[in-house]
A and B are shown apart, each in its own frame.
Chain A
Amino acid sequence: EIVLTQSPATLSLSPGERATLSCRASQTVSSYLAWYQQKPGQAPRLLIYDASNRATGIPARFSGSGSGTDFTLTISSLDPEDFAVYFCQQRTNWPPTFGPGTKVDFK
Chain B
Amino acid sequence: EVQLVESGGGMIQPGGSLRLSCVASGLMIDDYTFHWIRQVPGKGLEWVSLITGVGVYTSYADSVKGRFTISRDNSQNSLYLQMNSLRSEDTAFYYCAKDLDGYDNGGLFKYWGQGTLVTVSS
Interface residues of A (CB under 8 A from B): 34, 36, 42-46, 49, 55, 87, 89, 91, 94-101
Please tell me if B109 contacts chain A, counting CB pairs below 8 Å.
yes
Which residues of B have CB within 8 Å of A34? 108-109
Task: Count B-side interface residues using an 8 Å CB cutoff.
Answer: 19
Interface residues of B (CB under 8 A from A): 43-47, 59, 61, 95, 100, 103, 106-110, 112-115
Once the chains bind, are A95 and B47 in contact (CB under 8 Å)?
yes
Once the chains bind, are B100 and A98 in contact (CB under 8 Å)?
no
Q: CB < 8 Å: which of A43, A46, A98, A101 contacts B114?
A: A43
Once the chains bind, are A94 and B59 in contact (CB under 8 Å)?
yes
**B45, B100, B103: most-surrounded residue (chain A CB, <10 A):** B45
Which residues of B have CB within 8 Å of A89? 45, 107, 109
Once the chains bind, are B47 and A43 in contact (CB under 8 Å)?
no
Which residues of B have CB within 8 Å of A43? 95, 112-115
Which residues of B have CB within 8 Å of A55? 100, 110
- Known A46-B100, A49-B100; judge A96-B107 contact (CB<8 A): yes
CA distance A47 to B48 in the complex (A): 21
Which residues of A have CB within 8 Å of B95? 43-44
Q: CB < 8 Å: which of A45, A49, A87, A94 contacts B45?
A: A87
Once the chains bind, are B109 and A46 in contact (CB under 8 Å)?
yes
Once the chains bind, are B112 and A44 in contact (CB under 8 Å)?
yes
